[in-house]
Structure 1
Amino acid sequence: MIRGTNNIISGFSNPSTLTTAQKKVLAEAKSFRAYMYYNLVTMYTLGYEANQKILPIYTAPVAHNTPAKKTQEVFELMIKDLTESLKLYEEIGNVNRGGNINYFVTKGFLSYVYAAKGTNDALIEAAKLTESIINEGGYQLASKDVLLGGFNKTMRNPNWMWSAQLTMENRLNLISWYGQMDVFTYGYPSSGDTKGLSKELYDKIPTNDIRKKQFVVGIVTDDTGAKYDFGSYAIIPVNKFYPASGKVVDGVRFVESDYVFMRIEEMYLLNAEVNARSGNEAAAKSTLMKLMEIRRPDVSYINGLSGKGLLDEIVLQTRIELWGEGKAYAAIKRNKGTYEYGSNHLSYPSSTFPFDDPRLTFKVPQSELLNNTVYYE
């Protein structure tokens, strides 16, 4: 993906001569390149250690290998790319919403980069950026109906920031996110290999929290009235992800539901997190309460939280809110927390893994070490 963005970026050597349309393409490419490096940093490091060599940097579609660069240099590239992307969007006046990467999505990327860096000045910048997205982006927090409404209405979900609308032309089926997650789609879950919520995490959701209704335990009753027993260990997201065509177990052959990559709830949770980490607890509580008051009737308990207790609550709500959306791994890692596997987990039931457990950080591929002769320069 980085090579693909480099192919685009290298074609725009003189930004001052670009048309509005070309500047938009360049802005998206720079934003996406930085986001790919952010994902690599998240997967291949334990955190921000400025002088640790971690990844090669490629800013052109070259055929030769380059050596690993220090963490600080990789972060400088990401921040530079995202800052330049934002400037391009501002130059062309294109700061509006849309399903693709845009101005506010780019601010979201930059927020995550600063949060991952974790220095106090970086946390303050992340707080400013997420506050801007919340106040200026025009995105609305999901209502109770939207929270139970499935991931199938890209153009009508006011809380979605970055998404992809899927159609029959995509011919997406088994080898897809839905093929892994959704019992109503032809795939692994409908055959019994369910991807479910940790029992202990489920138990931490109060019964008066609307998100409890996103999941059912064991038995699924679909729209035809048929009952399917997936086992008492299975806590299945039948009311979070489901197709527009209805809830029929194994009823969808080709996916026409939509993919969501970023939604405004992330920015509320990230804003609360970075404010808590930087010591601005009043702002952290205020933001968290705005999110939570839609989900449960009484959020007054948040007022009594502080220090580690407040940050733990924010991470907990991140795990609940964004379950199955690929965000908890980075949240736990950047907060140096512990991964907790549920008692209903297949391979490691009731196990805990600290963020620095070697099994939770990807290793540089052997082929890279063998073929990149300058990696250790």
Structure 2
Amino acid sequence: MKNIREITTRLLLAIFVLSSVSCDKFLTENPTSDLTDREVLESVTGLGILLKGTYRMMRDGNNNPPISSPSGIKILSTVTGTDMMVNQEQVGNNWNFYTYNNQRYDPAGAVTSVIWGTAYKVILNTNIIIGNIDQAAGVQSEKDAIKGQALALRARNYFNLVRLYQHTYSVAKGKLGVPLQLKEDLEPKERATVEEVYKRILQDLGDAEHLLKNYDRSNNRNYYNIDVVNFLLAQVYLTMENWEQAEKYAREIRTTYSLMSMTEYGAGFSSLNKEWVLGYEQGAQDYWWYDSPACWFDFGQNNAPWQSEQILPSNYFVEVVMKDDPRLLVIPNPLYPTKYAATKFRELKSQPPYGHLYDLRAAEMYLVEAEAAARQGKVTEALQVLNLVQSERDASITTTTAQEMLIEAILLERRKEMWGEGIEWFDMLRLKTGVEKTLAQGHYQELSIPALSNKLIMMIPEKEVVNNRLLVQNPHPGQEPVFKP
């Protein structure tokens, strides 16, 4: 018999999510249904609504979108890298969680707690769905689709957690990762090893791959389907340095999705197009306008409802890295004449819905396939895929077939194609590189973060360690600056 705590937890979470669902373009189910608590857990209809609420919770970052939503994590990842910076003239020290100040990894701070808390709330909801769907009344194909999506959502959240709270797989697979909460209870768990977490991620994605093979999302890019699963598998295998599998799954996306045109690339990343593998169509009532990249990069040029003046490209990135590249979508900064402002992300109009939010797009997978092939010595295949991206972007064409030079060219192309889109932090971790920012490059500060710095990962939230004595805290960067494999 299930204990009272487990039953209460299940019902409270289900009720919470159902009450948070609104009628909008993304979630069209009316939450004011006549379903009882039991029917929520015992019917495909109820669990389907719970799944939609879970999507909404993740997309909106549990109402903390500037930090913990997919878009929020992208913003945090972007300013972690070398090419973008936080506007310290405007924000001073108020936004230090976007720099390498201790606010970003402080166990008592908001950033580490909100990201952790949101991910585990999503995971708990997926556990409810996974734990009840097999016994629920309904058509098997619908049950498979719901379970497959829940497994993929759980896997993605664990993938984010294990990368943000521990160093990369290749150096830390035997180290402590994050707790694996796989059931509906809230019993304390110790931290599984990084290797164990990745094993679970792959198992969940593998199961989702099987369950979603016949699922048709009807061209609704809001929901996870087999393409999203293949995308995530390619990312996971790339991080694990399993080049063969990374190439295989990235190719699934490359051969399914065409690249957007250069005209579409320059349109502002607010309109759904053929390259979007996952994105969120916004209605007038569900648009988190401060979660849009256009807002964060806006100094008056991006038509954003919230002109945040937060993030701008470094002079070095503009004048050296991207010189003469068509993807250099910047202008002289309207507020700070010696700086630049990005026009890569723009809103569609001045009234809601201002535009849609993209999450995953195919170009990343083209470059994953190219990198994975090159690292296996398949330089001809790698070069062909790399050139597909360069040709579509009217960019300089790489010709070298020397393996190491080709890998560097692919990584540079990844930097040019995906700038501002949130891959920077995760690339630094998996590639084991440090960060150098200088005044001479146009940055606001001199900054030198070595490879494998403990400033690159987060500490476990203090309240979690206090409430769960099984948890072992990560080292504080002030005491142990660099990770020791």
* TM-score relative to the length of structure 1: 0.84
Equivalent residue, structure 1, for 2:354: 256
Question: 1:326-347: per-residue Cα shift (whole Å, max 9, x none)?
Answer: 112112221122334363333x
Q: How far has the Cα of 1:185 moved from its partner?
A: 1.2
Find the residue that maps to 1:170 and give its secondary structure.
Answer: coil
Cα distance in 2 for partners of 1:337, 1:298 equals: 25
Residues 236-271 of structure 1: CA deviation (Å, up to 9, x unaligned): 222x211222xxxxxx47552111110010101111
Question: Any idea what SS the aligned residue of 1:168 has?
Answer: coil
SS in 2 for 1:51: coil
Distance 2:138 2:282 in 1: 35
The equivalent of 2:106 in structure 1 is: none
User: Does the aligned pair in 2 maintain the 1:272–1:284 contact within 8 Å?
Assistant: yes
- 1:166-196 per-residue CA deviation (whole Å, 9 max, x = no partner) reads 121115334654432334213243xxx3411
For 1:215-294, what aligned pairs fall within 5 Å after superposition? 215-218=330-333, 229-238=334-343, 240-245=344-349, 252=350, 254=352, 256-294=354-392
Q: Number of residues paired by the alignment?
A: 344
Once residues 366 and 262 of structure 1 are traced to their aligned partners in structure 2, the CA distance between those partners, rounded to angstroms, is 32
Aligned to 2:269: 151
The sequence identity of aligned pairs, in percent, is 22
Name the residue aligned to 2:450.
354
Change (3 A) 1:178 1:255: farther
- Where does 1:175-254 land on structure 2 (aligned, <5 Å)? 176-182=292-298, 183=300, 184-189=303-308, 193-205=309-321, 207-212=323-328, 214-218=329-333, 229-238=334-343, 240-245=344-349, 252=350, 254=352
Task: Tell me the distance in 2 between the aligned counterparts of 1:309 and 1:337.
Answer: 17
Cross-structure match for 1:248: none
Alignment partners' CA distance in 2, 1:176 and 1:141: 22
CA distance in 2, matches of 1:39, 1:376: 19
**Aligned counterpart, 2:424:** 328
Compare 94-103 and 285-294 and name the one that shifted more: 94-103
- The Cα shift of 1:15 comes to 9.1
TM-score when scaled to structure 2?
0.66
Cα deviation, residue 293, structure 1: 1.2
Off by >6 Å, runs of 4+ in structure 1: none
Q: How does 1:46-85 map to 2 (within 5 A)?
A: 46-48=167-169, 49-85=172-208
Report the equivalent of 1:374.
Answer: 470
- What CA RMSD, in Å, does the superposition of the two structures yield over aligned residues? 2.5
CA distance in 2, matches of 1:185, 1:101: 28
Contact 2:123 2:157 (C-alpha < 8 Å) held by counterparts? yes
Moved more, 197-206 or 67-76: 197-206
1:40-189 correspondence to structure 2 within 5 Å: 40-48=161-169, 49-90=172-213, 92=214, 94=216, 97-99=219-221, 100-118=223-241, 122-135=242-255, 137=256, 139-154=257-272, 157-174=273-290, 176-182=292-298, 183=300, 184-189=303-308
Change (3 A) 1:279 1:244: same
Unaligned runs of 5+ in 2: 1-121, 474-485
